[in-house]
Amino acid sequence: MTITLEEGVEQIGLRLSSTQLSQLHAYLAMLQKWNRVYNLTAVRNPIEMVTHHLLDSLSVIPSLLREREGGKPFTLLDVGSGGGLPGAVIAICCPQAQVSCVDTVAKKAAFQQQIGLELKLPNLRGLHARVENLREPNDVVCSRAFASLADFTQWSAGSLAPNGVWMALKGKHPVDEIALLPSTVEVFHVEQLVVPGLEADRCIVWMRSTT
């Protein structure tokens, strides 16, 4: 089913300004342009990019805002961000968030930096680093199709603020991955997501440290 960005935003229940919608369209255009050279994503069809990337990332915003109590400022680290998903989308939709996207591939981190410059997003930065080496605390540490839950939480533990949460975006409910988590990580909610135009399982696994 073909769906426009605006239709998807409405179905998700987001209230975005005309500026934010323009930034999302501009981001999509940047992703298509840079992808030809830097291979940021395997999805190359612009229509599929809307559903598989933009709407998939936008679908987490209501849950994220509920977790962070609406409009209060917060910091977020997007691990293995690649082409800036979902970090760049979160930065566009949540100006109260200071978003850092980290990737071990230099060209991807450079693209993340360019998003912030071209779209005039002072709350977005790209980092070329291994997440294991980062020590700046964040209220939310997120990932989208990055690694197993055990690896994700282990590698990014040094970037989680004392009262912070992990937000892992997954497909089907990852029962097996949850079973392999150490006792130092607590899963406090698994939330099913509905992505407009995408007939696939999606969920958020919310976790926190027990230490």
Q: What is the mean pLDDT of the chain?
A: 94
The single-letter code of the amino acid at 51 is T
CA distance 89 to 82: 13
pLDDT greater than 90 at residue 2? no
Q: How many domains does the chain have?
A: 1
Instruction: Quickly list DSSP for 109-156.
Output: HHHHHHHHHHTT-TTEEEEES-GGG----EEEEEEES-S-HHHHHHHH
Burial class (CB in 10 A: 0-12, 13-18, 19+), 49: buried
pLDDT-derived band at 12 (thresholds 50, 70, 90) equals very high
pLDDT 10s digits, 163-203: 999 999 999 999 999 999 999 999 999 999 999 999 999 99
Strand order in the sheet with 124-128: 124-128, 97-103, 74-79, 138-144, 160-170, 202-209, 185-193
pLDDT 10s digits, 123-142: 999 999 999 999 999 999 99
Helix (H) or strand (E) run with residue 97 in it? strand 97-103
| pTM for the full predicted model | 0.95
Closest residue by Cα to residue 169 from 203, 131, 208? 203
Closest residue by Cα to residue 68 from 45, 105, 42, 94? 94
Containing structural domain, residue 176 = 5-209
CATH number at residue 124: 3.40.50.150
